[in-house]
Amino acid sequence: MGGDELRVLVGAEQSRGTLSVFAGVMHGGGPPLHVPEDEDEVVIVLHGELACQLGNRRGALGSGGLLWMPRSVPHTIASTSSEPCRFVTLATPGGLEELFKVQSEYFASLAPGAAPDPMAMAALPGAARRRVIGSP
């Protein structure tokens, strides 16, 4: 959505399920506030700036910033820079790429300019274990 990119560098298959590693580019906004039940995540900002929320705490990360997001804690990130934000995300255990794949397929099925349906997003395989609880 919005030209954002997420590329799998290491998937669960390559790591025997121990972790997944992603390279991302965010042009603005970010995922909704959500609670993953299965993964711990680390985001490292390579270039740009990300606003972040972890539980009730909010902050910002610049280049070189790192955010640890433990499972079961609500969190989100959003690009706040006028230029694209580049980052790396590590998730453990691996497998988060499966949800990202079905989300990408869902977004590709939408008509140009159409907004995603929250109910359809919640019904995607794997989404129930990563509950959406708020907006970005």
Confidence of residue 134 (pLDDT cuts 50, 70, 90): confident
pTM summary value: 0.88
Say which CATH superfamily domain 5-134 falls into. Answer: Jelly Rolls (2.60.120.10)
In whole angstroms, give the CA distance from residue 92 to residue 12: 9
Q: What is the mean pLDDT of residues 40-59?
A: 96
Contact (CB, 8 A) for 25 and 4: yes
Q: Which residues, including other chains, have CB under 8 Å from residue 86's CB and lie 6 or more apart?
A: 23, 24, 25, 45, 46, 47, 48
Predicted pLDDT of residue 121: 83
Q: What is the CA radius of gyration of the chain?
A: 14
Q: Which residues, including other chains, have CB under 8 Å from residue 112's CB and lie 6 or more apart?
A: none
Torsion angle defined by CA atoms of residues 107, 32, 26 and 45, in that order, rounded to the nearest 10 degrees: -140
Q: Where are the domains of the chain?
A: 5-134
What mean pLDDT value characterizes the chain? 91
Query: Is the pLDDT assigned to residue 2 strictly greater than 70?
Result: no
Q: What is the mean pLDDT of residues 79-94?
A: 93
